[in-house]
């Protein structure tokens, strides 16, 4: 496989669904066509729900605990999360491409391993374009929603509020027209988009694993404290967008439960914390595959640069620390000897602080804060915005 351009790998493209987009001219092969795709996906997933609930009288039916007009979930999921996941590709693809390009051009592969690296890229490109993966994803999505339909009465019995999805008659619980569209179209569309992104996250993880099997030329003195693998943070920063979207989905679901059931914010916190921890672990796991090589490079660096530090310190002490040296210090100011020792100290500190995984504590903190943001609206289920602002102002007095 020949070296490709900086934007050669686009994880958001490829597969059966992307081919379908191209055939219907929803997606142009060489562009993102974001506006067109958003319009189509909203028309397919949200607009029919709005129209069908209007026809059935469930748009703002006062007999329902949660009529469509006041149900936040369809708005957030199909007018917020789905467009967000489509736009995410425009940011994820360049970040992933930057990692691939940087590792190819930085010299970290050494002279004899570029062929293995290109093979790993080729496998990534083939697998992301696989039709089989999309077929499996579609099958899984419809298995989930049809299982929901098959267990409709159990689902309805577990709810503590009535909504626009189901209706009741003498023969039992039934899906409304909008409910059928939700089960057969809207819900699968959202699941398919999510599952495709998680599939691509898995592909990225397997690609990193294959790269970690290559003997890399890691440099213990590299200022990124990861031997030159600091660029991998770009990949992690890219996929956090998908975990943010999932957090938005979970947040709105918890919000509805808090508003319509006996659940409160305190009871929701363990779920939120579990999700954030699980997300951080999942995003970090692919980077652990480099820990063996990073650990070896760090040990090697501490031995080599420790020995060099001793020789440098010994030479400096012999020249300037000898009691027979009667210099008054002016001569030291005329040389670069002291600056060399100080610069070397910085180099050794870099080697000593080298990490076993290419991620920093600051990076983890930023990711945690980012994942918390989608859950902040849950505060409004317990406190009104004026109350929150009043408490903030009072805290300043």
Q: Could you tell me if 133 and 46 lie in one domain? A: yes
Domain tally, the chain: 2
Q: Is residue 5 part of a domain?
A: no
Q: Is residue 3 part of a domain?
A: no
Q: Could you tell me if 219 and 317 lie in one domain? A: no
Q: Is residue 247 part of a domain?
A: yes
- The whole model's pTM is what? 0.86
Q: Could you tell me if 139 and 204 lie in one domain? A: yes
Q: Where are any strands of DSSP class E within the chain?
A: 166-169, 172-175
pLDDT the model gives residue 6: 42
pLDDT the model gives residue 320: 65
pLDDT the model gives residue 1: 39
- C-alpha span between 99 and 389 (Å, rounded): 42
pLDDT the model gives residue 325: 55
Determine whether 287 is exposed, middle or buried from the number of CB atoms within 10 Å of its CB (0-12, 13-18, 19+): buried
DSSP string covering 65-85: SB-GGG-HHHHHIIIIIHHHH
pLDDT the model gives residue 338: 65
User: How many Cβ atoms are within 10 Å of 164's Cβ, its own excluded?
Assistant: 27
Q: Which residue has the tokens 């930023």?
A: 366
Q: Could you tell me if 86 and 195 lie in one domain? A: yes
pLDDT the model gives residue 5: 42
Q: Could you tell me if 236 and 343 lie in one domain? A: no
Q: Could you tell me if 172 and 321 lie in one domain? A: no
Q: Is residue 245 part of a domain?
A: yes
Q: Is residue 85 part of a domain?
A: yes
Sign for the pseudo-dihedral over CA of 34, 26, 188, 44: positive
Q: Is residue 71 part of a domain?
A: yes
Q: Could you tell me if 226 and 332 lie in one domain? A: no
Cβ atoms of 343 and 259 within 8 Å: the answer is no
Q: Which domain holds residue 315?
A: 298-352
**Full pLDDT tens readout for the chain, 397 residues:** 344 444 467 888 888 888 888 888 787 776 778 888 899 999 999 999 999 999 999 988 888 888 899 889 999 999 999 999 999 999 999 999 999 998 888 889 887 888 899 999 999 999 999 899 999 999 999 999 888 888 887 777 667 777 888 888 777 788 899 999 999 999 999 999 999 999 999 999 999 999 999 999 998 988 888 888 988 988 888 999 999 999 999 999 999 888 888 888 889 999 999 999 999 999 999 999 999 999 999 999 888 888 888 887 777 777 666 655 555 555 555 566 667 777 778 888 888 888 888 888 888 999 999 999 999 998 887 776 677 677 777 666 6
Q: Could you tell me if 111 and 147 lie in one domain? A: yes
- C-alpha span between 50 and 259 (Å, rounded): 22
SS3 389: helix
Q: Looking at 352, 369, 384, which one is the last position of a domain?
A: 352
pLDDT the model gives residue 287: 92
């Amino acid at each position: 496989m020949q070296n490709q351009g900086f934007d050669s790998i686009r994880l958001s493209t490829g597969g059966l669904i992307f081919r379908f987009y191209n055939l219907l001219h929803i997606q142009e092969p060489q562009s993102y066509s974001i506006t067109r795709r958003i319009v189509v996906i909203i028309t397919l997933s949200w607009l029919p729900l709005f129209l069908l609930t209007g026809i059935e009288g469930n748009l703002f039916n006062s007999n329902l605990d949660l009529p469509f007009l006041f149900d936040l979930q369809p708005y957030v999921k199909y007018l917020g999360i789905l467009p967000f996941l489509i736009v995410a590709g425009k940011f994820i693809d360049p970040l992933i491409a930057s990692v691939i390009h940087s590792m190819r051009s930085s010299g970290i592969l050494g002279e004899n391993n570029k062929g293995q690296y290109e093979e790993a890229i080729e496998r990534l490109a083939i697998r992301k374009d696989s039709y089989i993966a999309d077929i499996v994803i579609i099958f899984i999505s419809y298995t989930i929603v049809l299982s929901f339909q098959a267990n409709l009465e159990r689902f309805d019995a577990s709810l503590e509020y009535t909504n626009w999805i189901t209706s009741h008659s003498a023969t039992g619980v039934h899906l409304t027209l909008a409910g059928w569209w939700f089960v057969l179209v809207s819900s699968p569309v959202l699941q398919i988009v999510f599952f495709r992104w998680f599939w691509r996250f898995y592909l990225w993880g397997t690609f990193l694993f294959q790269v970690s099997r290559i003997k890399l030329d890691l440099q213990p003195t590299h200022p990124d404290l990861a031997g030159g693998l600091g660029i991998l943070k770009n990949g992690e920063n890219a996929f956090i967008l998908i975990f943010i979207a999932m957090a938005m989905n979970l947040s709105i679901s918890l919000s509805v439960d808090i508003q319509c059931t006996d659940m409160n914010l305190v009871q929701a916190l363990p779920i939120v914390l579990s999700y954030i921890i699980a997300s951080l672990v999942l995003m970090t796991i692919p980077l652990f595959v480099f820990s063996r090589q990073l650990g070896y490079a760090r040990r090697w660096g501490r031995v080599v640069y420790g020995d060099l530090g001793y020789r440098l310190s010994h030479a400096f002490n012999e020249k300037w620390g000898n009691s027979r040296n009667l210099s008054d210090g002016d001569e030291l100011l005329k040389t670069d000897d002291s600056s060399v020792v100080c610069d070397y100290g910085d180099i050794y500190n870099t080697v000593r602080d080298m990490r076993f995984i290419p991620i920093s504590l600051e990076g983890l903190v930023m990711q945690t804060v980012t994942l918390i943001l989608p859950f902040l609206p849950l505060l409004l289920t317990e406190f009104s915005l004026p109350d929150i602002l009043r408490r903030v102002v009072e805290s300043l007095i």
